[in-house]
Structure 1
Amino acid sequence: MKKKIIAAASGAALAPAFVVVLAGTASAHGYINSPPSRQAQCAQGTVQCGSIKYEPQSVEGPKGLRSCHGGNSAFAELSDDSKGWRATSVGTSASFTWTFTAAHRTSNWEYYIGGTRVGVVSGNNAQPPRNVTHNINLGGFTGRQKLLAIWNIADTSNAFYACVDLQVG
């Protein structure tokens, strides 16, 4: 009887910690941290933003969108071009590093400037490591540009969205 009481008490004591661990990993996903995406700039305090500063990895929405906020009204400020986003100077190509806080099997990553797809990288239906870097050719573009990056998930109907402000050339 004593062993049952100890086992029950141990389980009850560990349950809250187990729930916190599960909740923390289930709500997180991925974003571009280098060069700093708009949500990375929010998280770093470079630009004043709302709740996205606490969860830059959470810009998730249905596949096929072309907005910085992924259709999530809580993060609409990411699509506001007047917020003073800092542009990173790059040449005719740039490397984009994604940080993932929860791995999903990946269809691909797509990169757009305006309506032009400037890059696509296959995800091979595999889970990426914690960080992935893609080198994308930006040839044909100069000056200040807003690049939209999309991480298309293979195991859900959603994608993750990130915009990066660049000074190309």
Structure 2
Amino acid sequence: MHAKRKTAAAVGAVLAPVLALTLPTGSASAHGYISSPPSRQAQCAAGTVSCGSITYEPQSVEGPKGLTSCSGGNSGFAELDDDSKGWQVTPVSRSTSFQWVLTARHATSTWQYFASGQKIAEFNDNGAQPGATVTHQVDFGNLSGKQKVLAVWNIADTANAFYACIDVNVS
């Protein structure tokens, strides 16, 4: 009986690290953020701006649908709401492509873009599951100059959305 226990312990010791590396974890099923033009969380991840925990999980800015904050209401990512933090402003034209990088591909209801307190674009995916990247061409209309764009990815089968803010200068 003692030999069987030793064998089981040895097998467990060999398999545990393999399982730990191959089984999915909660944080690995992250979600998405805008990479281009660089969103605030992309700037944190790249080290362009010094940030807290968002540096290691730019794809995790998730909160209830309908919020207007860069942090998605997540107090752990509150520095994304700080407009005085020194965010890099990207020069863009009146019609600009925004690219999302998705680390988990959720069924999507809509993608929305806001600037100067108004919705400037919405794309309806009717519950479709997106690919690993999604690009939208957004027209700023008559808006110009420095703008903080709030981009929202509304998930179809939950009450949550993912949030990203992008600082741009529209010429």
* Sequence identity (%): 57
TM-score w.r.t. length of structure 2: 0.89
Show structure 1 runs of 4+ deviating over 2 A: 8-12, 14-19, 21-26
Task: Give the equivalent residue in structure 1 for 2:28.
Answer: 25
The runs of 5 or more residues in structure 2 that have no matched partner are: 1-6
Residue 144 (1) aligns with residue 146 (2): yes
Residue 52 (1) aligns with residue 54 (2): yes
C-alpha deviation, 1:11, in angstroms: 10
C-alpha deviation, 1:24, in angstroms: 4.6
Task: Give the equivalent residue in structure 2 for 1:156.
Answer: 158
User: Once the two structures are superposed, what CA deviation does each residue of 1:128-156 show, in whole Å capped at 9, x if it has no partner?
Assistant: 10001000000211110000000000111
The runs of 5 or more residues in structure 1 that have no matched partner are: none
**Counterpart Cα distance in 2 of 1:152 and 1:12:** 42
User: Once the two structures are superposed, what CA deviation does each residue of 1:36-64 show, in whole Å capped at 9, x if it has no partner?
Assistant: 00000000011111110100000000000
Counterparts of 1:65-144 in structure 2, within 5 Å, are 65-144=67-146
- From the CA coordinates, give the structure whose radius of gyration is larger: 2
User: Once the two structures are superposed, what CA deviation does each residue of 1:84-127 show, in whole Å capped at 9, x if it has no partner?
Assistant: 11111111111000000011000010000022100001122011
TM-score w.r.t. length of structure 1: 0.90
Q: Aligned AA for 1:23?
A: G
How big is the alpha-carbon RMSD for the aligned residues of Structure 1 and Structure 2? 1.8
Secondary structure of the equivalent of 1:135? strand
User: Once the two structures are superposed, what CA deviation does each residue of 1:66-97 show, in whole Å capped at 9, x if it has no partner?
Assistant: 01000000001001000011111111111000
C-alpha deviation, 1:12, in angstroms: 7.1
